Copies of this chain bind each other. A is one copy, B any other.
Amino acid sequence: MLSLLAEQLEAARDRLEPAVFDYYSAGSGQEVTVGEAEAAWGSFRLRPRVLHDVSTVDLNVELLGARVSSPFVVAPMAFHALAHPDGECETFAGAGRAGALGVLSTRSSRRIEEVAAAATAPWWFQAYGMRDRALTHALVRRAADAGAGAIVLTVDTPYVGRKGKVSGVRIAVPDDQFLVNLAQHLVPGTVAREAAEQDPSMTPDYIAELAEVSGLPVLVKGVLRGDEAVRCLDAGAAGVVVSNHGGRQLDRALPSALALADVVTAVAGRAPVLVDGGIRTGTDALLALALGADAVLVGRPLLWALAAGGAEAVAAALDALAEDLRHVLAVAGAARIAELDSSMVIRL
Specify which chain B residues have a CB less than 8 angstroms from the CB of A45 in the assembled complex: 252-255, 258
Q: Is A51 among interface residues, defined by CB-CB distance under 8 A?
A: yes
A202 smallest CB distance to B (angstroms): 6
A249 and B156 form a contact (CB under 8 A): no
What's the Cα separation between A231 and B157 when bound, in Å?
A: 44
A50 and B156 form a contact (CB under 8 A): yes
Interface residues on A, range: 35 or more
A47 and B224 form a contact (CB under 8 A): yes
A342 smallest CB distance to B (angstroms): 13
A250 and B331 form a contact (CB under 8 A): yes
Specify which chain B residues have a CB less than 8 angstroms from the CB of A51 in the assembled complex: 155, 202-204, 206-207, 220, 228, 231-232, 235
What's the Cα separation between A222 and B48 when bound, in Å?
A: 9
Specify which chain B residues have a CB less than 8 angstroms from the CB of A162 in the assembled complex: 327
A331 and B249 form a contact (CB under 8 A): yes
A158 interface neighbour in B3, B200, B331, Cβ under 8 Å: B331
A302 smallest CB distance to B (angstroms): 20
A332 interface neighbour in B155, B164, B250, Cβ under 8 Å: B250
B53 and A203 form a contact (CB under 8 A): yes
What's the Cα separation between A45 and B253 when bound, in Å?
A: 5
B254 and A46 form a contact (CB under 8 A): yes
A161 interface neighbour in B203, B220, B331, Cβ under 8 Å: B331
A26 smallest CB distance to B (angstroms): 14
